Amino acid sequence: MRKKIIFLFLALISAWTGHLYSDDLDPRFHSREEVKWEIPFGRAYDYSDALVTRAVDGDTLLLENNERVRLIGIDTPEMHDSGKLSRDTQRSGQDAAAIKQLGRQSYEFTKKLVEGQRVRLEFDVDKTDKYNRLLAYVYLRDGTFVNAEIVKQGYASLLTIPPNVKYADLFQKLYRQARENKRGLWQ
């Protein structure tokens, strides 16, 4: 029975494609090369004009297509209990509540900057991380470089993970200036 179904399916496809390429069907088609086969498996997404529906935290955004974008090159404090928060408390010597408060400030800054805005994503070498989030440099329509602005205003530390290092020198310069000028979290 299975072989009959497969045979019937192949026969139908063969008959349909033969009809599709028939010169009688449409006089515009004169050869098989003029017909393009496209099978859409989901909507293609335009990362040059994406809507940010919300800031998840200070360094992660959610797009209208429900993809998460992790901003390359920056790291903001955690807002919620997590393994990273535990590691950060041990590394920095700060208590979890203080780190969460700083995370909330970073989140609020990022939220005001990008939520509800249309943005353009620029990718580096790796397009996704191990959590399947997009890794991107993000730009507002007015040209504001979001990753850099968060660092410049003092709401992020640096997180350089090769091979995604295209703007590492710029971020380092902005980070140093933010700390020296006591901006954002460095007050």
Single out the catalytic residue among 78, 91, 118, 179: 78
Among candidate residues 177, 131, 184, 156, the one with its CA nearest the CA of residue 73: 156
Single out the catalytic residue among 70, 91, 115, 118: 70
* Catalytic residue list contains 133: yes
Q: Tell me if residue 17 falls in helix, strand or coil.
A: helix
> Is the sign of the CA dihedral 102, 103, 105, 106 positive or negative?
positive
Report H helices in the chain.
Answer: 2-20, 83-92, 96-114, 146-152, 168-180
* Catalytic residue list contains 70: yes
* Catalytic residue list contains 149: no
CA distance 178 to 120: 25
Single out the catalytic residue among 120, 133, 179, 183: 133
Among candidate residues 143, 92, 100, 97, the one with its CA nearest the CA of residue 119: 143
List the catalytic residues: 70, 78, 133
